[in-house]
Amino acid sequence: MFILEFTLKDTPGTLSIQKKEQSDAETAYQKLVNALKSKSDDLIELTCDHQTNKKVALLGSSIASVQMYEKTSGGAGGRAPGFFAPNP
C-alpha cells in the first residue's frame, strides 16, 4: 500500500489517500506535482483505494506540498516517514 500525503496552503494538517498499486500512486503523485509546478486553478480529484468511499477534490493552486511513501507493517509510533515541520 502506498500513501500520498499533501498539505494545502493556509490550512493546518495534512490530507492523505492510499493506493494499492505503485503505478497508481505514482500517477496521483505526478498529478499533484504538476499542479504544484503550474499553480493552476484546475480541479484535482483523488480517490482512496483503502477506504473506497473516501474522495477529495481540490484546486491545484491550493497545494503546498506532497509526499509519497510505502506503508510498512512496522512503524515508529504511527508517524509517517519523511519530512516533518513543527508548528510555530
CA 12/CA 25 separation, integer angstroms: 23
Q: 13-41 pLDDT, tens per residue?
A: 889 999 999 999 999 999 999 998 988 88
Determine the 3-state secondary structure of 79 from DSSP: strand
Which tens digits make up the pLDDT trace of 3-15?
999 999 988 888 9
pLDDT of residue 11: 85
Look at residue 77 and tell me whether its pLDDT is greater than 50. Answer: no
CB 46 within 8 A of CB 56: yes
- Which residue type is seen at 24? D
Give the length of the chain. Answer: 88
Please say if the pLDDT value at position 81 is more than 70.
no
DSSP 21-67: SHHHHHHHHHHHHHHHHHT---EEEEE-SSSTT-EEEEEGGGEEEEE
Mean pLDDT of 60-87: 71
Gyration radius of the chain's alpha carbons: 13
Least confidently predicted of 45-49, 54-58, 82-86: 82-86
